[in-house]
């Protein structure tokens, strides 16, 4: 995972996370719901990152953490009437960043994935030996 529960608490606060994760809104933090949101967010991120880098990443750049948190919060807030414009905006920014990573406009500073060699449209030139015989007499 690119972020953990404590990262969400650090960015927001424990009471907010408790409210988002408690599907009955009884104030009890549901770690399974939080882990699902973080796993989903990490999977979404890997879908983009895998276009340019081998995944899972051997070392995770710290700049990925806040984007993972924003996507996980979007997952937590979706469907329960908890969505705010701020959450939507942060989610959109995270997705745009990931699209930039996938397209190569932004680099993570890691070794890039080896490009697959395609021979479908490859033209190979070679020299033929000189002619020994000529046409005609």
Burial of 132 (0-12, 13-18, 19+ CB in 10 A): exposed
pLDDT in tens, 51-63: 999 988 888 899 9
pLDDT of 120 higher than 70: no
Give the pTM. 0.80
pLDDT in tens, 15-51: 999 989 987 777 789 999 999 999 999 999 999 999 9
33 or 119, which is more confident? 33
Token pair of 86 as six digits = 């701020």
pLDDT in tens, 75-99: 999 867 789 999 999 999 999 999 9
Cβ atoms 82, 20 nearer than 8 A: yes
């Amino acid at each position: 995972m690119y972020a953990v529960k404590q990262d969400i608490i650090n960015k927001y606060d424990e009471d907010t996370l408790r409210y988002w994760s408690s599907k009955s809104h009884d104030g009890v933090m549901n770690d399974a719901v939080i882990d699902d949101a973080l796993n989903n967010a990490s999977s979404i991120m890997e879908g983009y990152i895998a276009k340019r880098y081998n995944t899972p990443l051997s070392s995770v750049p710290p700049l990925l953490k806040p984007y993972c948190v924003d996507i996980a919060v979007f997952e937590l807030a979706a469907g329960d009437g908890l969505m705010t414009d701020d959450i939507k905006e942060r989610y959109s920014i995270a997705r745009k960043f990931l699209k930039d990573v996938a397209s190569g406009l932004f680099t993570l500073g890691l070794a890039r994935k080896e490009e697959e060699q395609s021979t479908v449209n490859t033209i190979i030139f070679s020299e033929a030996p000189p002619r020994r015989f000529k046409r005609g007499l």
